[in-house]
Amino acid sequence: MTVARPYAPALGVEHTAGPRIRLKTVYLLPRSTEVRCLKRVRWLAREGLEPTTLAFERTGFDIEVDLPYVSLGRLEHRRYWRRPFALLRAVPRVVPRLRGAAVTYCFGLDLLALAWLCRVLGGTRTTLVYEVADVLEIQCGTGLSSRLIRTMEWFLLRRAAALVVTSPAYIDGYYRRFRQLPPVFLIENKFGHALGPAIEAVRATPMCREPDVITIGYFGGIRCMRSLDLLFELAARAGGRISVYIRGATNSETIRRRLDEAPTHVIVEGPFKPEVDMPHMYRAIDLGWVAYYHAATNARMARSNRFYDCCMFGRPMIAQKDSPDGRIVEQKGLGLIIDADDRERAMRAMLALTPAQIAAWRGNVLALPRRVFAHEPEDEHADLARFLAGADPMVAARGATS
């Protein structure tokens, strides 16, 4: 089976339009409110992967979503030793729903393991797809637990028909160590929306509207204590010249207590509904915060939703030096690059921000081609759907070797 535009450019396959596809697809989500996963489900549904969504609930994440799903139970955040029991309890709910499903799309290694087990127990021939948006520290370690996890992942990869990654750094930084991979598709966490009137209105909104005040927005899952410490100190030292707008959900009591300590000129709001609230949120800011740092290994490889959101709404950003987002921001002149590990130098750079700088960066953001930040018809989702329409469900096709 040839693959249209997979990650491996050496395959040299042309992108060609195909017939309309209809594949009954079961999606396994680690969290019912995971926006990244919901965007993927919706976009693949447009390409014919008709969804039945099964998801776990998680404590502390109260973002409102519209996608219906079947509950698989509740997972406790970071209680990894309890997770296998929750997965096993979900087996009776998953097995019957895999019968008749052409594809089972798994967001994460533990859900790939659950899908494989349910496929074996149910005697089904559903095609397994494995999407990776996080690589944990333990996956990259040298201890016995790390080696056991990689062995399990190698076993499951050989039984998956496709590997989907959200950043090329996952291949270069981690998966190259595996001898064989199934075909790999790079599908970034871009927007799936057209530039409708609400988004266009935000993109046209003047920057730095409040005289002599620059507003920085930190939106989404609030999990990075380093970001909060930097932003709180920045607001305190700027004396009203820089304000900070924080909005999103957290499942950490430590983060909640820190948010309660927010200084003057920091606005903190809770969860939001992306489709409804994001235009208002981005209209209120001049710079987006994408210098997010949570888990060292993943921070070196992951692409953040915040980067694509800022591009979509026409907002420059503050990004971490040498991160995947930071390299693009620096290369294309989309905002300020800081090294948050050098706290004082980062602080001086942010305190020196000017409306003229922001205006220049904004011009570069607005000039970006739409394909940089938004999915379009006949893109990688269509390529994956066409591939899955012809994939052998029980045996992973062989990709490039490392």
Q: Which residue has the tokens 């070797």?
A: 401
Q: Let me know: does 126 contact 100? Beta carbons within 8 Å.
A: no
> Could you list the pLDDT tens digit for every one of the 402 residues in the chain?
333 344 433 222 334 444 478 999 999 999 888 888 888 998 899 899 999 999 998 765 545 566 788 999 887 766 666 788 889 999 999 999 999 899 999 999 999 999 999 999 999 999 999 999 887 767 767 778 888 888 899 999 999 999 999 999 888 888 888 878 899 999 998 887 667 888 999 999 888 777 789 999 999 889 889 999 999 999 999 999 999 999 998 878 899 999 999 999 999 999 888 888 999 999 999 999 999 775 566 667 888 889 999 999 999 999 999 899 999 999 999 999 999 889 999 999 999 999 999 999 999 999 999 989 988 877 899 999 999 998 655 544 333 332
Do residues 146 and 18 share a domain?
yes
Q: What range does the domain containing 58 cover?
A: 9-190+375-389
* 222 & 317 share domain: yes
301 occurs within a structural domain: yes
How far is the C-alpha of 254 from the C-alpha of 261, rounded, in Å? 11
User: Which is it for the CA torsion 114, 120, 124, 126, positive or negative?
Assistant: positive
Q: Please, are residues 286 and 216 in contact by the beta-carbon 8 Å criterion?
A: yes
CATH of the domain at 356: 3.40.50.2000
Give the Cα separation of 26 and 111 in Å (integer): 12
| Strand positions, DSSP E, 103-170 | 103-107, 127-132, 162-165
Residue 15: per-residue pLDDT: 41
Rounded Cα–Cα distance for residues 224 and 236 (Å):
19
d(CA 277, CA 293): 24
366 and 385 assigned to the same domain: no
Residue 234 vs residues 82, 246, 290, 327, 352: alpha-carbon distances, Å:
39, 13, 15, 23, 11
Same domain (yes/no): 181, 276: no
User: What spatial distance separates the first Cα and last Cα of the chain, rounded to whole Å?
Assistant: 20
Q: For residue 222, how many other CB atoms are within 10 A of its CB? A: 24
Residues 138 and 239 grouped into a single domain? no
Residues 328 and 202 in one domain: yes
Does residue 399 belong to any structural domain of this protein? no
* Domain total of the chain: 2
| Type of residue found at 395 | V
Please state, in angstroms and rounded to a whole number, the distance separating the CA atoms of residues 192 and 174.
27
Query: 185 and 125 share a domain?
Result: yes
Q: Would you say the C-alpha torsion 340, 341, 343, 345 has a positive or negative sign?
A: negative
CA-to-CA dists, residue 289 to 222, 245, 253, 316, angstroms: 11, 10, 22, 9
Give pLDDT, residue 52.
94
pTM of this prediction? 0.84
Q: What is the pLDDT of residue 38?
A: 87
Could you tell me if 39 and 144 lie in one domain? Answer: yes
Give yes or no: residues 291 and 178 share one domain.
no
Token pair 């409708």 is found at 196
- 343 in the same domain as 245: yes
Say if residue 135 is in the same domain as residue 95: yes
Dihedral class, residue 390 (left if φ above 0, else alpha if ψ from -120 to 50, else beta): alpha
